[in-house]
Structure 1
């Protein structure tokens, strides 16, 4: 029997990409609302209660409302918004970090943010292993395609094609910081410097570290080996040992649901740059939702993914 699936917010960027990845998959019976019904509370409640699994592709407040509408049902939920990423009772949907069995058995799963996906993939394993200190003052430099900023940002780039770079989050209160700190088990939130370029999709997240003040700290080569061991069996996250001379983001890159990790090491071993390259709409959003959906349904985690 097919699994009944409802995508609440299927007309948005993330929802549309999730539907694309589900095309031709007979395991799912998609519950679809027409344009009028999508804004009708009763119709949404009925769909949420009728579904075996619902994926929320909504703004934060709307996602919270959808969870309330689903109360009283046995519907399992994947929330692609940031509304529940550090909320009590929710499972953080990063199977490579929390464990696949945790996702399999969860009823409420919150998709990680796109930037935190890169940061946590790099830092969380090293902190948990004691190779990096939880008290270290981490910084994060990141650049993304504009699709993650929603319609308003997309329109600004289209209206001003002469703009090549936008730095934002200058007030330092970015909504991704709580999940970065919590799931990397840090004593302090990192300093986060996000930016956007005129490309639709793609993302590079970098954590530069000066090892000199750490004293008897682990070496960058230990970082590389531990990350390689951590993700050795993952079909989604890959540690790239052969460092290229450049890391590129293309304005017309194809959708990609995996993630590549790099460790750049200075000649004297005193500096290291931990770098993740991913698709903000792939492993950073829709691809992660499909991966979690597959795991929750007992299917191969890569089914329908673009790897």
Structure 2
């Protein structure tokens, strides 16, 4: 499949990753019957299959290439990576697997596109709906291979949605990193009945770790961006104003509220962010995958969000445009 091809002829067929993912049998996923999946229909598919096989069999992270899926997504090749999502979820759900945390961190990579370095109110938590079969691009454009990026994103979100029953228990995992990654993945699921957001709220009521609480707040905001819910938006506002909450959670709520409304940022919010967004907290919040994705070597994700959302008139630092420019 190449750029400029008549994509309508591929819709619903063996090269439409949305249709392929939907057709994977539950027994194929649970039994890791990798040979039943047509990896060869998509660029680098055989390499993804091998990486999943090695990861499933418990080899060392060096051999398994735990970051293979996210690396492909960073290189703007998601179609084959999407096929790995159901298997990565099952590895993550296996409490005995030695590399479950790494597998879970990979799950949501194909479900997001055009988000690295994107920190504006309009785009940070933006998710378009599952790509309809009559909309070939859905605003995402094409991957470097010419494959419709929107198809890959929609297929990945559908795969995650199909396995929310496996992911939601991970919100209660003893490992904070697992809880954060589970929230990040579940935030991309379709959630019209707000069951996923209910799971976030339930965990938030019990969560003590301030960074995990921040993850749950951002995940709630991202899910709400996809499925708008006025009471949730109002709750975000209450959270950033609540002085009894952890500062990190208040900052996450401020970012979430800004992404869910077109209202001008009130002076009260600006004061809260200015007071709480210290360098120390900005570094701590780099553990949040939302922040890690939008930051850079010279600017944390939180700092970039604050600059882009509250001071959009300020230009990017010169090193964002010129990698050879001298650093301050």
TM-score range, shorter chain: under 0.3
Q: With a CA cutoff of 8 Å and minimum separation of 6, indicate the structure with the bigger relative contact order.
A: 1
Hey, which of these two has a bigger chunk of helix by percent?
2
Scaled by the length of structure 1, the TM-score of the pair is 0.27
Scaled by the length of structure 2, the TM-score of the pair is 0.26
Hey, which of these two has a bigger chunk of strand by percent?
1
